Amino acid sequence: MSESTSDSRAQGPKQVLYVENGIGYGGAVICLRHLVRHLDRSRFVPIVITGRNEAPYRGIASEAKWVHIPDRRIDVTKFQRITQNDKRIRSPSTARMILAQIGARLDDFGNFLPQFLQTLWVTHSLRPDIIHVNNEPLCNRAAILAGKMLGVPVICHVRGPIHQSWILRWLYRKPDHFIPVSEWVSEGIGRLGVPEVKRTVIYDGIALETLDLAADGRAFRCKHSIAEDAFAVGLVGLLIPWKGQHVFLDTVRRLTKEIPKLRMLLVGGTPEDCKPYEQELRERVRQQGMQTHVVFTGHVDDMPAAYNGLDVVVSASTTPEPLGTMVIECMIMARPLVAPNHGGAAEMTEHMRTGLLFTPGCPEELANAVLRLYKDPELRKKLGQLARAKALQTFDIKSHVHRVQAVYDQILGAENIDERQG
């Protein structure tokens, strides 16, 4: 790079390379898109890499330069599922251990290695000033290692639960800074040995103007054959086992006895890896004769209409969730929320003030909370209004972007701050 080009880059906007390698199109991607849309383009130019290229991901190209680098060329999960279910392979057995190692090596050489090499090449070609990975280090190790090799500072946005292992302790030493989405997540990162000075808690931001309080909930109900006088309870989230849809279904028999026109909605799409889980849920609904009461909506584009079409919104995650986007959206839409008493949901929800909390994994308590809201319309209204007031103060996208850009300034050093002030 010539000296004049280098000077021009130093004085112009900084390039931020965002990398998204999550399990599917959910809250993490939505929050990333909010950030990219509202980034100060006079100071930062976004470039987005995603591991998937389905239609929702391709939409990113209308908001920023978008590059697709496949993170799964070989479906190792399917291979592992087939070998685990093959009755000819008895467990425990040497054969099963060998097949597990074959699956791991297929993932290393068929998925990680080509992803890493392509990410390294793209990063070298684009010469970004910062790499901002949108998920935890393990699924973004290709981008993190590429950044370390090329001397590009790496920021890691951590949105999930923190597990303890030697590989994670090693990976968590690589990024230059972390943005945990809640205090609960930050504490987990700290337990892996990351000092507090390298952690900045920033709650996810939502573009409030995109969540229309007047969205047509009746249209959503009509689309899914929900009668106007039915009581609609919806669990919002991707169909993933730890999201707790099975716990949600555990409440159906109890609730149908006390709510005459009950409809229980599973609102969300299913990642490819979790298709067997969706089939288990559907088979359970069929075997237990719950078809009249349970609705699978699939992926929903118009979420404001979905929230307005629900009388009660449920989060039922069985493991602590950092801070689900659905919790934020539900609060902003002034909908009554029932959430598990752990993780980010408990951090955000004050019981009997901005929502109702229940013991995680306990269908009896979940059913009791739903019944309480069914019997008390005034409580539903009060919880929704107070939740919205808190959300408007906490999750404004402008405040979110300002804090993220402050982290960029910190990482890039005082020179970048001086340029902005000058």
Using 50, 70 and 90 to split pLDDT, how confident is the model at 38?
A: very high
8 A C-beta contact, residue 121 and residue 127: no
Q: Each residue of 329-350: pLDDT tens digit?
A: 999 999 999 999 988 888 889 9
What tens digit of pLDDT does each residue of 137-184 get? 988 999 999 999 999 999 999 987 777 788 889 999 999 999 999 888
The range of the structural domain enclosing residue 261 comes to 208-394
pLDDT of 84: 56
The SS3 call for residue 228 is coil
Total tally of structural domains belonging to the chain: 2
Residues 157 and 214 in one domain: no
Pairing mode of beta strands 312-314, 231-236: parallel
**Rounded-to-integer distance, Cα 12 and Cα 412, Å:** 13
Alpha-carbon distance values, 261 to 94, 214, 264, 381 (Å):
54, 24, 10, 20
For the record, the structure tokens of 329 come out as 């959206």
Residues 389 and 414 in one domain: no
Mean pLDDT over residues 76-105, rounded? 58
Residue 235 to residue 237: CA distance in whole angstroms: 7
Same domain flag for 350 and 276? yes
Cβ pair 190, 196 in contact under 8 A: yes
- Of 286 and 207, the structure prediction assigns the larger pLDDT to 286
For residue 108, the model assigns a pLDDT of 59
User: 53 and 198: one domain?
Assistant: yes
Q: How confident is the model at residue 291 (pLDDT cuts 50, 70, 90)?
A: very high
User: Is 60 exceeded by the pLDDT of residue 259?
Assistant: yes
CATH of the domain at 248: 3.40.50.2000
Q: Where does 113-163 have alpha helices with state H?
A: 113-126, 141-150
Average pLDDT, the chain: 87
Nearest to 311 by CA among 243, 242, 383, 244: 383
**Angle (nearest 5°) at CA 299 between 395 and 136:** 50
Q: 316 and 181, same structural domain?
A: no
Across 28-38, b (16+ Cβ under 10 Å) vs e yields: bbbbbbbbbbb
Q: Do 178 and 290 sit in the same domain of this protein? A: no
> What confidence score (pLDDT) does residue 81 get?
58
Q: pTM for this structure?
A: 0.69
Give residue 225's pLDDT.
95
Instruction: Let me know whether 178 and 218 are in one domain.
Output: no
CA distances from 272 to 3, 78, 199, 226, 276 (A): 48, 10, 33, 28, 9
Cα separation, 373 vs 103, in Å, equals 48
Same domain, 60 and 148: yes
Asked whether residue 351 falls in the same domain as residue 212, the answer is yes
- For tokens 């684009």, what's the residue? 126
pLDDT bin (cut points 50, 70, 90) of residue 75 is: low
pLDDT at 76 over 70: no
In this structure, are 370 and 402 located in the same domain? no
Examine the domain organization and report whether 281 and 381 are in the same domain.
Answer: yes
Q: Give me the residue label for tokens 């069929």.
A: 286
In this prediction, residue 105 carries a pLDDT of 62
Distance from chain centroid for Cα 116: 23
Same domain, 55 and 185: yes
Q: How confident is the model at residue 104 (pLDDT cuts 50, 70, 90)?
A: low
